[in-house]
Amino acid sequence: MGSGHDVVVVGAGLAGLQAAISLREAGVDVLVLEAAERVGGRIRSLEGVNGVEEAGAVNIGDGYARLISHVKAAGLEREPVAYSMREHAVVVDGHVGTALDWAGNPGNPLSGEERAVPPALLVAGALAKNNPLGGPRDWMAPEAERWDVPLTDYLHSVGLSGEAVALADRAGTFETLGGTSALAMLRAVQRASRHSPQTSNIVGGNARLPESMAARLGGSVRVRSAVTAVRESGDLMVVELADGEQITAGHVIVAVPFSVLRAWSALPALPGVVSRLIDELPYPALTKYHLVARRPFWEEDGLPHAMWTTSRIQRLLPWRLAADGPSALAVWVTGREARVLDGLDEREQRDIVLGELGRVRPAAVGAVEITRIVSWGREPWAGGAWAMPLPGQMAALAAAVEADTGRVQFAGEHLSVEDSGMEGALESGERAAGRVLARLGSG
């Protein structure tokens, strides 16, 4: 059995690294175990044809105080984001236009005031209007349960038509609108209102941030160390690795998505609300098809670079555009459509994506090729892109955040309270470390 540590942190994403740094600064002996061959979790930066492309988490909000503090401490720099959905092409059932002329698009099935709202903005606009959540913790209040209903129900209740809901459901960042908690989405919009605009990424790639955090921990971070179980043994916790190694610790912080824990062979006894979420909290699939455009086809068709479409490729987003030379873009496919594509071999996926892109924007034919495919739904150490609670799960999530889980604490963006995304992951790691330190102090 491996030598003991005060604390073992499972997962070297932002949550796990934040927890480990907080513990180390308090003088605690900590070991971080990461299953993948790199740190960063769902932050993944790749070298592209004309610079770094983000295959995972993108865009740093201006209000991400913890994250920006780490960036400054590491001597890193930020640069403006490369794209925006403020101007984008809209393709609905073969009818091509732009967000600006959507109201007159013959493919527009809506009427009244809704007709002028681009499909990509229908849900966000309805949620932002008269959002009942005023503060960052309002979602946890018992009275907020009235909004923990299917998102379709809430959208109808605030006046969105059936036609608008059906259109928005065809290419959203969720499995289905009906299978998504309205309270979860209201929380997301409330968070975004405090952290927007998301204006920057890190020069050289967002992965430089977790890499710099891991460097601060030195040899206390081990990659290629997949954990398969955590067991309680008297006053110690035993962490079991896939290669059979066992490491003891007084406390464990599990900073990986709940979807990953479903493959573990054992966890200590936990409060029922936590166990149920581990088993049931959904993580929608997300597959990114990184593209290189050898010529600027958008100049030929006169459409914006970004695109929202009801076709199976869903969204096209530019990454790094060049006036002379190749440009980098990406097709983002989420939810049920991503899972369908994930089930096909790579050749079939490439044929479908390039075929659909050429069908909705013929100018792209012969101009674009796929350089790589990144599937977060098929990634064993992620199991999806982010947590997306079901209707009725938000009260359980609030209870899980506050639950006493003893010598095993949990962290990750799925357990953030006030913040979202990368900042939420840091928040949760900070909180988990604080709870462990409190236990160590009282012990």
Q: What is the mean pLDDT of each run of 10 residues along the chain (443 residues)?
A: 84 98 96 97 92 90 91 93 79 92 93 93 91 95 97 95 92 83 95 74 96 95 97 95 96 97 95 96 96 94 94 92 88 93 96 96 96 96 93 96 95 94 96 96 66
Structural domain spans, the chain: 2-42+203-282+388-442, 80-108+286-375, 113-194
CA distance 417 to 431: 10
The two structure tokens encoding residue 203: 């020069």
The two structure tokens encoding residue 239: 């962490």
The two structure tokens encoding residue 95: 């009818």
- Kindly report, residue by residue over 56-95, the tens digit of the pLDDT: 998 888 889 999 999 999 999 998 886 667 789 999 988 9
- DSSP per-residue codes, 28-85: --EEEE-SSSSS-TT--EEEETTEEEESS---EETT-HHHHHHHHHTT--EEE-S--S
CA distance 218 to 207: 17
* pLDDT at residue number 61: 84
For domain 80-108+286-375, give its CATH number from 3.90.660.10, 3.40.50.300, 1.20.120.1770, 3.40.250.10: 3.90.660.10
CA distance 173 to 182: 14
Domain 2-42+203-282+388-442 has CATH 3.65.10.10: no
Residue 389 per-residue DSSP state: P
Q: Global pTM?
A: 0.94
